[in-house]
A and B are shown apart, each in its own frame.
Chain A
Amino acid sequence: MDNQGEPKSWQSVLVEVGQKKANLQKNGYSSELEIVKIIEEFIREQVQSEDSGYPTGSSG
């Protein structure tokens, strides 16, 4: 839920993650930045999966 009690969307979460990533990137690559990038890629896969109706992956 966001501040207004509305369910969050993947897009809004992606924006939030992107902002954090941008802040961390100012200090170069770090352990914390890597975690945020992992989360960002996880979200991208979720969004891609929802768009296609199927989970992501190469085959099967």
Chain B
Amino acid sequence: MKILVIQQARLGDIYLSWPTIRALRRHYPQGEIHVLVRSRFSAALTGLDAVDRIWHFPSQSLAESLLSGDQGLEEAEKCVSDFLGQLKEQSFDLIANLSFSPLSSYLTHRVSSENSQVRGYTRQADGYLSLPDDASSYFYAQVGPGRVNRYHLADLLAEVAGVSLKEEDWLAPWSFIEPREVLRVIKQTPIQPLEPYILVHVGASEERKCYPLSLWSKALEILNQQWDGQILVVGSAEEADRGEQLCSELEWAYNWCGKSSLPDLFALSKGADLVVGADSVLMHIAALTETPCLNLSATRIVNFWETGPRSQGSRILLAERMEEISPAVVSREIQNLLNKQPAKVPLMERVNNSYVGSEGLFSCRDFSWDLVQAIYAGGEIPILEDYSVYSALGQLNELCELALAQIQSLGSADQKLNLEVIQQVDQLVDQVARRQPEVAPLVSWFKTELIRIGPASIDVVINRTEKVYQNFKLVLSQYCGSPASQLRDNGPKAEF
């Protein structure tokens, strides 16, 4: 069994893929597991014994060819063609694309052969996006910042690959975290070995995810006055200036940005009492070393449900923007975690493999999320509490009926008109979702099912399209045309 895992995203995504790759090894103990990554991030595979061969996408060669010379494009085409030809020759039995980008979908299609089972984003024969498995279609429809998904990315990757995870899939390599190695790595840093310390990551995967340096400074200054432990600031070489600026005015805080390898970060995380930072690779390393985290998360750009810290006891401070997270709160919550005290502010906490909101935070009950679970996981159809949502569902129901009438009339003399009406229905459905975001997940599911139809004869496409609309109507009929019992008693009554 020859397996290819495609992971073209960044360091954190690669670490989040570790459990899935390990699970693939468990499922296929005699299998040969290959992984395709970007060479810049391949260091994140160091220590993952489940991998037999690493392939590096030739980013540097491509860039050099494209940016120089008259024949740059031709050279780049040859480079890509040759590289992907090598992969295709492997004749993989299973290809799992754990990236969710257009580029990765084309790569997946290019390297798959007739007998390959493909999971994850790929392409149809006509070049259109293909979502061959339910997990990928869920990802396409429901995952990302601003959307309602609450499944963690690590679990979604496993679903895409078609494997189930076990606790043992989450362990760090023993050679990275065994006590002598941890001591060796700590001794390379300025902090005192065997004395408590916390690890602070001042950077993040993107600038906009970073906690402002001025606020870090205030938070750690307060902490410094109230706690006599050590603070080791880590990050990439590019973040060294940030680290230096931060540590220059603090006692017991040491800048170690750019000075540790990824394996060293495992050791430092294992030895730390707490890891503090924004959405970054360190959170995912801490998940593997089972180190609790205090995660600072801006809800406008990060969906913490998807990429939040997995280690038990971790806490997440939430705000729309990073600037809104108070440094006094950061300092206090660091101390609460260190002293194993309850949180003093509303936040999310990792408890028993799920996120739980502390009292005072928003309700974890959410109509849209409950609707998603009903559609994808057979959960109960949620009761409506908002008449405007009911109204939007009613509009969708009418549009659905209109489209079905057109589909059933296709083949008649007015076929062109039928198709125009269907196109307009399509646009109007989008408008309803924009005006009433609570129904957006339902619309997204519906649109994704249309994408999954794929190329076929016209009769088959019409039949499949009709089926998708009928399924849409089935969900809508739970609310539309049903008794007012679907609405809370104290809400407005629907008219039928």
Q: How many A-B residue pairs have CB under 8 A?
A: 117
- CB–CB A38/B66 < 8 A: no
Given the known inter-chain contacts A38-B110, A39-B73, please indicate yes or no for A60 contacting B67, CB distance below 8 A.
Answer: no
The CA-CA distance from A43 to B106 in the complex, in Å, is: 14
Is A27 part of the binding interface, using a Cβ–Cβ cutoff of 8 Å?
A: no
Given the known inter-chain contacts A13-B66, A13-B67, A39-B76, please indicate yes or no for A57 contacting B9, CB distance below 8 A.
Answer: yes
- CB–CB B206/A54 < 8 A: yes
**Closest residue of chain A to B303, judged by CB?**
A59
Give the residues in chain A near B10, CB-CB below 8 Å.
55-60
- Among B73, B80, B279, B302, contact of A38 (Cβ-Cβ < 8 Å): B80
- CB–CB A60/B205 < 8 A: yes
- Among A1, A7, A45, contact of B101 (Cβ-Cβ < 8 Å): A45
- CB–CB B103/A60 < 8 A: no
Q: In angstroms, how far is the closest chain A Cβ from the Cβ of B147? A: 13
Q: In chain A between 2 and 60, which residues have their CB closer than 8 angstroms to a CB of chain B?
A: 2-3, 7-10, 13, 16-17, 20, 28-29, 32-39, 41-46, 52-60
Given A39-B76, A60-B11, A60-B281, list of 14 further CB < 8 A pairs? A3-B70, A33-B127, A39-B73, A41-B102, A57-B13, A58-B12, A58-B153, A59-B16, A59-B205, A59-B302, A60-B205, A60-B279, A60-B280, A60-B307
Is B310 part of the binding interface, using a Cβ–Cβ cutoff of 8 Å?
A: no
Is B369 part of the binding interface, using a Cβ–Cβ cutoff of 8 Å?
A: no
Residues of A within 8 A of B (CB): 1-3, 7-10, 13, 16-17, 20, 28-29, 32-39, 41-46, 52-60
The 7 closest A-B pairs by CB, nearest first: A60-B12, A57-B10, A57-B9, A41-B103, A59-B307, A29-B127, A60-B281
Give the residues in chain B near A8, CB-CB below 8 Å.
66-68, 72
Give the residues in chain B near A28, CB-CB below 8 Å.
126
**Closest residue of chain A to B279, judged by CB?**
A59
Is B107 part of the binding interface, using a Cβ–Cβ cutoff of 8 Å?
A: yes
- CB–CB A39/B62 < 8 A: yes
Given the known inter-chain contacts A29-B126, A35-B77, A36-B77, please indicate yes or no for A54 contacting B101, CB distance below 8 A.
Answer: no
- CB–CB A1/B307 < 8 A: no
Give the residues in chain A near B12, CB-CB below 8 Å.
57-60
A-B contact pairs, 22 of them (CB 8 A): A2-B70, A7-B67, A8-B66, A13-B73, A16-B73, A29-B125, A29-B127, A33-B127, A35-B110, A36-B77, A37-B106, A39-B77, A39-B80, A42-B103, A45-B101, A59-B9, A59-B12, A59-B153, A59-B306, A60-B10, A60-B12, A60-B281
Give the residues in chain A near B62, CB-CB below 8 Å.
39, 42
Q: In angstroms, how far is the closest chain A Cβ from the Cβ of B61? A: 11
- Among B40, B66, B77, B103, contact of A55 (Cβ-Cβ < 8 Å): B40
Given the known inter-chain contacts A38-B107, A60-B16, A60-B280, please indicate yes or no for A46 contacting B63, CB distance below 8 A.
Answer: yes
Q: In angstroms, how far is the closest chain A Cβ from the Cβ of B207? A: 5
Q: In angstroms, how far is the closest chain B Cβ from the Cβ of A35? A: 5
The CA-CA distance from A17 to B59 in the complex, in Å, is: 16
The CA-CA distance from A15 to B207 in the complex, in Å, is: 28
Contact digits for B79-123, partner A, Cβ 8 Å, 1 yes 0 no: 011001000000000000000111100110110000000000001
**Closest residue of chain B to A60, judged by CB?**
B12
The CA-CA distance from A30 to B89 in the complex, in Å, is: 19
Give the residues in chain B near A7, CB-CB below 8 Å.
67-68
**Closest residue of chain A to B7, judged by CB?**
A57
Give the residues in chain B near A13, CB-CB below 8 Å.
66-67, 72-73
Q: In angstroms, how far is the closest chain B Cβ from the Cβ of A30? A: 9
**Closest residue of chain A to B125, judged by CB?**
A29
Give the residues in chain A near B211, CB-CB below 8 Å.
none
Is B266 part of the binding interface, using a Cβ–Cβ cutoff of 8 Å?
A: no
Contact digits for B54-69, partner A, Cβ 8 Å, 1 yes 0 no: 0000010011001111
Q: In angstroms, how far is the closest chain A Cβ from the Cβ of B428? A: 30
Q: In angstroms, how far is the closest chain A Cβ from the Cβ of B34? A: 19
Is B199 part of the binding interface, using a Cβ–Cβ cutoff of 8 Å?
A: no
The CA-CA distance from A20 to B103 in the complex, in Å, is: 18
Give the residues in chain B near A35, CB-CB below 8 Å.
77, 80-81, 84, 110
Q: In angstroms, how far is the closest chain B Cβ from the Cβ of A52? A: 5
Q: Which of A9, A17, A44, A58 has the most CB of B within 10 A?
A: A58
- CB–CB B207/A53 < 8 A: yes
Contact digits for B6-23, partner A, Cβ 8 Å, 1 yes 0 no: 001111111110000000
